[in-house]
Amino acid sequence: MRWEVWLAFFAACWVIAVSPGSGAVLSMSHGLSYGLRRTTTTIFGLQAGLVIVLLVAGGGLGALLLASEQAFMVVKTIGALYLIYLGVQQWRAQVESGADQGGSTAPVRVAVMSRRRRFATGLLTNVTNPKGIIFMVAVLPQFIDPNRPLALQLAILAATMCCVDLVVMHGYALLASRMQGLFRNARAVRWQNRFFGSVLMAVGAALFFVRRQHA
């Protein structure tokens, strides 16, 4: 891979990562609810999903998927329903508060997902995102040299994209975690959950209107 091609892809990765999407919403939601350290597991799940989508698109399977109306509809529906499911779960997340033995207000307690579930949530959020597949199929071939080994090029592109996305998603999570002090009572946390739940449901509903590319 030529140096100038890699630099162009590196710049494109920053534009892609910074652009608001389901991954950014999830990172902010978990950052605000669980803090930066626990959200790292979610972000690693997002990267695993990103690598899978990149390999699917780079290996040619993405183009085959987009060529089939039925297959694309299945992926789109699964992705939309999954994000809506996450939104509903976020909306209904349990929040508890109480008083300590001295009678003062105790810290708000939020039900925390297990590490495995946080990782799976991140992975499935990116894997079931048809917009990511469309973008990869449309953009990735521009950075691949057909005269050079495909596997090495995909490895370089995947590593570059994941490194950039790790930085950006941790940035979103960090900014959100800094706001935890504003949500110290149960009512504020419930409204926070409802806000991010609504955003996730809205993003999921928007996926129903995504159309595949026609040859």
List the beta strands (DSSP E) in the chain.
Answer: 95-96, 109-110
109: phi then psi, degrees, rounded to nearest 5: -110, 125
- The Cα–Cα gap between 162 and 164 comes to 5
41-55, 105-119, 163-177: the lowest-pLDDT one: 105-119
109: β partners: 96
Using one digit for the tens of pLDDT, what is the confidence trace for 63-97? 666 666 777 777 778 877 877 888 887 777 766 65
Q: What is the largest CA-CA distance in the chain?
A: 73
pTM for the full predicted model: 0.76
- The Cα–Cα gap between 200 and 119 comes to 17
